[in-house]
């Protein structure tokens, strides 16, 4: 009969080994589940996920889908593609400030529409963004401290989004369709400049000039045509005038000849 004790010992060892392997695996898995430099926490009952200063060059995948606050600030993210935050149905606050974001594809914030209430895009490299990127977004947006081009597109964007309280003064023209706006706050500039109507006005004027050009061409052609015809008509008339006398003379001569 084999002794019971060694068998128990062996199974105990096996069990412990298995347990530690499982523990290690779960540790590794949870470590791998979070992007490098990111860590979760709970703040005031809200699930928070911080990836600040993590040298990220894109929005990380594998952000827990129950995250309420997401900090991606102070990284090197250059671009927000379509559906960048699609799998975060409980997100309330999104901080993307102090990155290198120069482009926002339309649909980048798709899926955040109803619940997101704060979006920080300040201190990035935004020059020009389509208002379509922010359609359906209810969040208060901070667009301060970006090298904005002040034009109709920015005016439309500002009309579309709700600016975070007190952040509007930080939207400054780095360049503009009109040189004198550079360095001024955009909201101050649009108090007496309507970039979209200005554009419309210029297109209207261009259209008017073109139409006038065509009109002038048609008129001058008509005048030329009439003059030319007058000349022709006069010549023709002279010809006709000269014609009957010749004819008469020839007729006369012919009657004379018949008489003779």
Binding site for ligand NAG (CB under 6 A): 65-66, 89-90, 97, 122-123, 142, 144-145, 164-167, 170
CA distance 111 to 1: 68
CA distance 70 to 38: 10
CA distance 193 to 151: 10
Min dist CB 143 to ligand NAG, Å, is: 8
Min dist CB 37 to ligand NAG, Å, is: 21
DSSP state of 77: -
Closer residue to ligand NAG in complex, CB, 57/65? 65
Strand bridging mode 39-43 / 46-50: antiparallel
- 257 token code pair: 């000849």
Min dist CB 56 to ligand NAG, Å, is: 18
CA distance 141 to 221: 59
Closer residue to ligand NAG in complex, CB, 122/195? 122
Strand partners, 172: 185
Min dist CB 93 to ligand NAG, Å, is: 11
Closer residue to ligand NAG in complex, CB, 51/170? 170
The alpha carbon of 170 is separated from its chain's Cα centroid by a whole number of angstroms, namely 20
Contact 79, 99 (CB under 8 A): no
Min dist CB 163 to ligand NAG, Å, is: 8
Side-chain half-sphere exposure of 234, counting CA atoms within 13 A: 5
Closer residue to ligand NAG in complex, CB, 93/105? 93
Q: Which residue is nearest to ligand NAG (CB)?
A: 122
Closer residue to ligand NAG in complex, CB, 60/170? 170
Closer residue to ligand NAG in complex, CB, 115/131? 115
- 102 token code pair: 């120069």
Min dist CB 2 to ligand NAG, Å, is: 48
């Amino acid at each position: 009969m084999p002794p019971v004790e060694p068998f128990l010992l062996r199974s105990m060892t096996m069990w412990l080994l298995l347990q530690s392997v499982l523990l290690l695996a779960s540790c590794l898995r949870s470590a791998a589940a979070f992007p490098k430099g990111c860590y979760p926490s709970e703040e005031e009952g809200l699930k928070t996920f911080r990836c600040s200063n993590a040298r990220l060059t894109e929005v990380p995948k594998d952000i827990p889908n129950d995250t309420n606050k997401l900090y991606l600030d102070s990284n090197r993210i250059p671009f927000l593609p379509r559906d960048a935050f699609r799998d975060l149905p409980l997100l309330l606050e999104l901080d993307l400030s102090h990155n290198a974001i120069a482009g926002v594809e339309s649909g980048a914030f798709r899926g955040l529409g109803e619940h997101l209430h704060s979006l920080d895009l300040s201190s990035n490299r935004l020059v020009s963004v389509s208002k379509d990127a922010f359609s359906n977004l209810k969040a208060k947006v901070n667009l301060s401290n970006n090298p904005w081009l002040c034009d109709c597109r920015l005016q439309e964007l500002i009309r579309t989004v709700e600016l975070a309280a007190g952040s509007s003064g930080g939207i400054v023209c780095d360049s503009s369709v009109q040189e004198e706006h550079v360095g001024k706050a955009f909201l101050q500039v649009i108090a007496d400049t309507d970039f979209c109507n200005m554009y419309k006005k210029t297109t209207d004027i261009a259209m008017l000039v073109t139409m006038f050009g065509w009109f002038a061409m048609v008129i001058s052609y008509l005048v030329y045509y009439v003059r030319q015809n007058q000349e022709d008509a006069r010549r023709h008339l002279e010809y006709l005038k000269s014609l009957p006398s010749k004819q008469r003379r020839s007729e006369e001569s012919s009657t004379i000849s018949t008489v003779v």
